[in-house]
Amino acid sequence: NAGVTQTPKFQVLKTGQSMTLQCAQDMNHEYMSWYRQDPGMGLRLIHYSVGAGITDQGEVPNGYNVSRSTTEDFPLRLLSAAPSQTSVYFCASSYGGLGSYEQYFGPGTRLTVT
Amino acid sequence: KNEVEQSPQNLTAQEGEFITINCSYSVGISALHWLQQHPGGGIVSLFMLSSGKKKHGRLIATINIQEKHSSLHITASHPRDSAVYICAVRNYGGSQGNLIFGKGTKLSVKP
């Protein structure tokens, strides 16, 4: 199993550009989530999904959209990039409800917005 | 006040030392996670526990629900244990998406 994969690993955007961070898992997990990690702060939840077709907002959803058309894929879209979105982004999946089962993380995407 | 506090923030140890990292939380929880973030950035799950103690190799995690406290111990530490260790809790009142993360403890083990 590849586990949780993320692409790209690194990305530089200009303010106002849009892009999609890709996340895929091959473990047939129902639960998937996106986090951002900033210096001096804990991981913060952006959006999550409890199954195909079902998504919900986390702690810091503004400026991001998600969709879940298949169990495997959970892309994160930045609608109009801002410097405040410079961060490292992690996708994670789990067999069951977030926090109640082991979390599997992707390798992360380092995003810089200039 | 942060809901999940870790101590120490930074820890330097000599190879072979016994290491303890602490996590205190202020909410009622249904589960607590210990995660390891390697210098390259990847995050792996070490333990998930809701009571008692778990052991995996040289790593031991304990939790005291009444005192709202968990510890991660590393016996016979090795330079490859150098990483950031993150505590996260799933609180009772949280939504499906609610994991609360600590800021992490950066461990450096010197040979």
* B23-48 residue pLDDT tens: 999 988 889 999 999 987 899 999 99
pLDDT bracket for residue B64 (50, 70, 90): very high
Residue A4: pLDDT over 80: yes
- Per-residue pLDDT of A51-70, as tens digits, reads 999 999 998 999 999 999 99
pLDDT value at residue B93: 64
pLDDT value at residue A101: 83
Helix boundaries (H) for chain A? none
Cα radius of gyration rounded to whole Å, chain B: 14
pLDDT value at residue A111: 97
- Per-residue pLDDT of A73-89, as tens digits, reads 999 999 999 999 999 99
pLDDT bracket for residue A93 (50, 70, 90): very high
pLDDT value at residue B96: 57
Distance from CA of B16 to the nearest CA of A (A): 29
Q: Which of B5, B37, B43 is the best substitution to test chain A (most A C-beta atoms within 10 A)?
A: B43
Using a CB-CB cut-off of 8 Å, the residues of chain A touching B48 are: 101-102
Question: Are the Cβ atoms of B99 and A108 closer than 8 angstroms?
Answer: no
Report the pLDDT averaged over residues A19-27: 97
pLDDT value at residue A24: 98
Residue A100: pLDDT over 90: no
Nearest CA among B7, B3, B22 for reference residue B91: B3
Write down the mean pLDDT value for chain A.
94
Using a CB-CB cut-off of 8 Å, the residues of chain B touching A45 are: 97-99
pLDDT bracket for residue B95 (50, 70, 90): low
